[in-house]
Amino acid sequence: MCYRCGRPVKQPVARCSDCRSPEPAFRVARAAAAYRGVARDALMTFKLGGERRAARPMAALIAQRVGPIDANVTTFVPASRSSMAERGFNTARELARALAPLIRVPCAGLLQKTRETSDQASLGRADRRSNLAGAFRARAAADRVVLVDDVMTTGATADGCARALQAAGAREVMVLTFARAGDL
C-alpha cells in the first residue's frame, strides 16, 4: 500500500500518484479493506441497501486494523442533500458514531457541505478535486482530528474535508475508511 494514503498498490511506496501532486492535506489515511469482492458488496449493501446495522461490524474492522489512535475528536464527511434524500442517512456519520467508542475518541459533526456538487462516481481524479474545491466548511476543530468516510477512491473528498478542518484550526487530520480503491 501507499504509506501516505493507504491505496493498495503492487509495491509499497511512500507516496502514490493519488498523493504526490497536489499533496493531500491529511497526514495519513487507512482503510479496513480494499474496495473489491466481499468488502465492496458489504459496503454497497450498507450504502445503497440501507442496511444501517452494518456500521457496527464495519467500524469494528476499522478499529481492529488501525490500532490505538491519538486524536481529540472523530468527525465524518457530510452527506449531500441528494444523498440524504435518497438514502435517509449519512453512511460516514453512521460509521463514525460506531467507531468513536471503539477508538476512544469522541464523535462530533464538525463539517458541513457549503454547496451541492456533482456525483463523484462519474468523475476523473482532476475533476473530482475541482468539483469539491471549497465545498466544505468546518466549525472550530480540535488539534488532532480523525475524519471518517465509507470509501476512499482518489482522496479528493478526504483532502477537501481535511483542508476545511485545518482552516478551522486542526493541526493534523487522519482519515479512516472502511474501504480503499486501488490498483490491485
Q: Going from the N-terminus, what domains does the chain have, and what CATH number goes with each?
A: 28-180 (3.40.50)
- From CA 104, how far away is CA 70, in angstroms rounded? 9
Predicted confidence at residue 78, as pLDDT, reads: 94
Predicted confidence at residue 8, as pLDDT, reads: 84
Predicted confidence at residue 134, as pLDDT, reads: 74
Q: What is the pLDDT of residues 18-62, one digit of tens each?
A: 787 778 999 999 999 999 999 999 999 998 888 899 999 999 999
Predicted confidence at residue 117, as pLDDT, reads: 65
Predicted confidence at residue 62, as pLDDT, reads: 97
Percent of the chain whose predicted confidence (pLDDT) is above 70: 89
Is 126 exposed, middle or buried, given 0-12, 13-18 or 19+ CB atoms closer than 10 A? exposed
Indicate the SS3 state at residue 38.
helix
* 137 vs 82 pLDDT, higher one: 137
**Residue 133: pLDDT over 80:** no
Confidence of residue 128 (pLDDT cuts 50, 70, 90): low
Q: What is the pLDDT of residues 87-126, one digit of tens each?
A: 889 999 999 999 999 999 999 999 998 877 656 666 666 6
CB distance 130 to 96 below 8 Å = no
